[in-house]
Chains A and B, each alone.
Chain A
Amino acid sequence: MSDENEMACRELVDLVSDYLDEYLTEFDRRRFEEHLAICRDCVTFVDQFRTTIAAVAGLEVPHEVPSATRDRLLNEFRDWNEAAT
């Protein structure tokens, strides 16, 4: 390796979240992107990470609170406030 600042794949895989979440220092971000420019395998790896994060985000399902639960909590709220006044 000619350039000692050059990033190896083994180092890059530890930094993917920090890269995607924009936590890398300017110096490391540049090394990261320079590596991506010459390494198709790491591009694939980063793509897989992006896909993984998007898929995990997709797990969120709008969830209705069961009406019995909701009513019970609202009753608690009402009782507390009535007792307080």
Chain B
Amino acid sequence: MGSLRFVSTSHGGESTAVSTAADRRLIAALRQGDEAAFGQLIDMYHASLLRLARSYVADRAVAEEVVQETWLGVIRGIDRFEGRSSLKTWIYRILTNTAKKRGVRERRTVPFSALLSADDGDDGVVDADRFRPDGHLWAGHWASPPSSWGSAPEERLLAGEARALIEGTIATLPDTQRQVITLRDVDGWSSEEVCNVLELTEVNQRVLLHRARAKVRHALEDYFDQAGEG
């Protein structure tokens, strides 16, 4: 598991703003009708496209149609692609545009649990009452500090129960938070790629990512606290 990956995805890695030499080879192959090249593209992106599509339209069948339409858009549009973005960004832009159009008609059906938890309110990363209040000698410092999750919690986290909890928490996040954490932390995209595809400013993207991570952390904290008591 790439536990250090999050450190390197922000600035590092290949530049993705414009198409690379590898992109250009792939584009040339696609234009010549090279089926192996198209198959490679499907293998690289199909699952991730479907995951992103489902954050716009909850219904799996509709999300699959959106991805199908995206691929048709790629097939039909590749001759006109000018390479002003990376091939990947271009493909995902087709997806988000297609999904938004469908999303307006289908309305994402919100799971019941989501009604109870996440909204896009200006919620703090940590509840304010966990810090000492202003006027206190230690104002702004922990009143109710986090407790350690013990050693090697990552293995426990990927076991069934906690994994389902993480997935469930991400599922109930506001749409854009879910899209950002999925692309950045699950798919390992750079911040720049995410901003390009979701059309967010850098600052906005960082805020959304931090809120999303904070909610997952909070859910895990509750989980570990309960496990510790039990």
Contact = CB atoms under 8 A, between A and B. Distances in A.
B166 A22 contact: no
A80 B76 contact: yes
Interface residues of B, number: 60
A2 B131 CA distance: 19
B163 A59 contact: yes
A11 B76 CA distance: 50
Given A16-B210, A52-B216, A65-B46, A74 B154 contact: no
A30 interface: no
Interface string B166-180: 110010000000000
A48 B217 contact: yes
Q: Is the interface of A mostly helix, strand, loop or mixed?
A: helix
Contacts of A73: 38, 42, 68, 71
Given A8-B140, A49-B217, A21 B146 contact: no
Contact of A53 (B140, B162, B185): B185
Contacts of A42: 142
Contacts of A54: 1-3, 6, 154
27 contacts: A18-B206, A18-B210, A21-B206, A41-B146, A44-B146, A44-B148, A47-B149, A49-B217, A51-B154, A52-B213, A52-B216, A52-B217, A54-B6, A55-B162, A56-B216, A57-B3, A58-B1, A58-B157, A59-B163, A60-B186, A60-B187, A65-B43, A70-B43, A73-B42, A73-B68, A73-B71, A85-B33
Interface of B: 1-3, 5-7, 9-11, 33, 35, 38-39, 42-43, 46-47, 64, 68, 71-72, 75-76, 125-126, 128, 131, 139-142, 145-149, 153-154, 157-158, 162-163, 166-167, 170, 181, 185-188, 191, 206, 209-210, 213-214, 216-217, 220-221
